[in-house]
Amino acid sequence: MFNIMNISKVIIFVHPLAMTDHAVNPNVSVDCVIFGFNNQELEVLLIERSAGNTEKVDEIKALPGNLIYEDENLDEAAQRVLCELTGLSNIYLEQVYTFGDPNRISKKHDQDWLRSIRAHPEARVITVAYTSLINKQRFNLTPSSFARNAVWVKVKDVPQLGFDHNEILDKALNYLKHKIYLEPLGYELLPDRFTLAQLQKLYEAILVDTFDKRNFRRKILRTSFIVPLNEKQKGVAHKPASLYRFDKSLFHQI
């Protein structure tokens, strides 16, 4: 017999993604490696997987990622998935590498979890990794979908992740290291106004190296697009540092 209460229950338990009318491609996913900086160390954004319809949290963390829709391209998929899982929107993402080991999602624990959220948990999935650097001050995390929570974890404290996500993180880190040699990406991770010491710490964190303060400052100030503000730090128990900002328009007119 038909009972309106059941319908309501059904609706409640339908997974958010299943409510869209987009067809999902069962074989291709995107994963996002989002880096942040806490003024000391490089961090990466991970999600805590919620176990399907239950309130249980899967204790294994993962990069935010999910299957693509048939009618979106990969860049769009990465933006959408990141937004659905963490609330971050309008993030400029760059493709890093594609991972396609036939067994990359077949570990027992990963399969158990996939069975709780996927129509075809056993289907082979190759995943396209994307990365971005974000200034944590400018964005708020509002996790939803199957992400119970989204958390910043220091890169050097990253635990064993689900799937092949440690490998993906390594690749993204490596990509970042190479890229920062070619482009001044650092400012993406810092507050709008920052000190040269902060910038140096950031480069040292990314490149896992140390630099001479005078040489570093000279090199930064030689570029014309990191410009001094007429402001200084306040309330620090030492000589206050001058603040600088990155000038995008000066950078682009080089």
Partner DNA sequence: TCAAAAGTGTTCAAAATACACCCATGT
Partner DNA sequence: ACATGGGTGTATTTTGAACACTTTTGA
Binding partner at 126 among DNA, a second copy, none, C-beta below 5 to 8 Å by kind = a second copy
Using CB under 7 A as the binding rule, whether residue 195 contacts DNA is answered as yes
Using CB under 8 A as the binding rule, whether residue 101 contacts a second copy is answered as yes
Mark residues 143-182: x for contact with DNA by CB under 7 A, - for none.
Answer: ----------------------------------------
Report the C-alpha gap between 47 and 66 in whole angstroms. 12
Q: Give the residue, chosen from 212, 229, 231, 250, that forms a contact with DNA under the rule CB under 7 A.
A: 212
Cβ–Cβ under 8 Å, residues 101 and 127: no
Binding partner at 242 among DNA, a second copy, none, C-beta below 5 to 8 Å by kind = DNA
Report the C-alpha gap between 137 and 144 in whole angstroms. 20
Q: How far is CA 101 from the centre of its chain?
A: 22
Report the C-alpha gap between 144 and 84 in whole angstroms. 6
Q: Give the residue, chosen from 23, 234, 249, 254, that forms a contact with DNA under the rule CB under 7 A.
A: 234
**101 vs 231, which CB is nearer to a second copy?**
101
Binding partner at 192 among a second copy, DNA, none, C-beta below 5 to 8 Å by kind = none
Report the C-alpha gap between 97 and 170 in whole angstroms. 11
DSSP string over 2-31: --HHHHHHHHHHS-GGGGS-PPEEEEEEEE
Kindly indicate which of the ranges 8-16, 45-53, 63-71, 183-191 contains the residues binding a second copy, using the contact rule CB under 8 A. Answer: 63-71
The footprint of a second copy on this chain (CB under 8 A) covers a number of residues equal to 21
Q: Give the residue, chosen from 160, 235, 252, 253, that forms a contact with DNA under the rule CB under 7 A.
A: 235
Cβ–Cβ under 8 Å, residues 91 and 134: yes
Binding partner at 97 among DNA, a second copy, none, C-beta below 5 to 8 Å by kind = a second copy
**62 vs 196, which CB is nearer to DNA?**
196
Q: How far is CA 131 from the centre of its chain?
A: 6
Q: How far is CA 167 from CA 33, 107, 125, in A?
A: 11, 15, 16
Q: How far is CA 50 from CA 27, 40, 47, 64, 116, in A?
A: 22, 30, 9, 12, 9
Using CB under 8 A as the binding rule, whether residue 63 contacts a second copy is answered as no
**101 vs 192, which CB is nearer to a second copy?**
101
Binding site for a second copy (CB under 8 A): 25-28, 68, 70-74, 77, 95, 97-102, 124, 126, 128
